[in-house]
Amino acid sequence: MGAHLRTFALFALLTGIFVFFGYVIGTVWLGDWVGAVVTFLLLAGAMNAIAYFASGRIVLWSYRAKLVTEAEAPKLYHILREVTLQSNLPMPKVAIVPTQTPNAFATGRNPKHAVVAVTQGILSLLSEDELRGVLAHEISHVGNRDILVMSVAATLAGAISFMARMFGWNMLLGGGSRDRNGNAITVILALVGMLLAPIAALLVQLAISRSREYKADYSGAKTVGQPLALASALEKLEIANRRRPLTFGSPASQSLFIVNPFSGGALVRMFSTHPPIYERIARLRALAQGVDNY
């Protein structure tokens, strides 16, 4: 599925959820579901527009990423410029996230508006070849047009989760119909609304196919000709992120990062947007030996 079609599917998902809440609120609170649905349709349209045009900036803001100049990060710029030239893509903007948790991601709605962000921790953890492999992976996401749907997904997942939680707590704290069935309806709808938060975020996460990570691994390794360097980087990053997960940002945006930066048990990792790290490493090592498992 192309990036634009996948993005359209996410917009449709968000619109459908907003319309559902509009119908419920209009029926239970206002007694006018038509007006509420129209209002929420307009709200969904506004959210879609914000997600499309501003999702990249929102993601950077949520992770406190700061755009840096070449004078501030000459080594990073040098490696990234080499990789973009090899990939025949324009040079993206560069940002650094102020955390020692080592990771990287790319965002933006197209290659001309792309930003590649790395954390402070990754710059001290990885060798130059390993960092080159990671940056090639991120640039592959840019070239494959993954960054649009990944950025939009992260933004919409957060919006849906926030709306569902606020709706649920509002209902529990006394909103809704006051007829004889009102209490039961209120409690049921509140529980549904609160449960929709993690479910909606999960649906958005799963909309990002794991195959995109495999493809970015493959493209990045082929671009720089160093699959073992990327495999080594992934191994280091996975271990370091389990030891020191991110403490800010939203798990709904885990799909942006090269490895999952958030803590979580087996169930969370089962539904991760990333393929198992051992499988990614095994494929890269096989690729280095001339075996293409992609």
CA–CA separation, 117 and 109 (whole Å): 15
- Return the amino acid letter for 176: G
List 128, 130, 138, 238, catalytic entry: 138
Beta strands in 217-276 (DSSP E): none
List for the chain the helix, strand, coil content (%; round to 5): 70, 5, 25
The answer to whether residues 68 and 96 touch, using CB atoms and an 8 Å cutoff, is yes
The answer to whether the CB of 93 falls within 8 A of the CB of 77 is: no
- 138 annotated active-site: yes
- Cα-based angle 201, 206, 212 (whole degrees, multiple of 5): 130
CA distances from 180 to 31, 184, 185, 193, 289 (A): 15, 9, 10, 21, 71
User: Dihedrals φ, ψ of 102, to 5°?
Assistant: -80, 125
CA atoms within 13 A on the CB side of 22: 18
User: Under a CB-based contact definition with an 8 Å cutoff, are residues 176 and 182 in contact?
Assistant: yes
CA 137 to CA 122: how far, in whole Å? Answer: 14
- Beta-strand ranges (E) seen in the chain are 66-67, 93-97, 104-107, 115-119
Quickly list DSSP for 120-134. Answer: HHHHHHS-HHHHHHH
Active site residues: 138
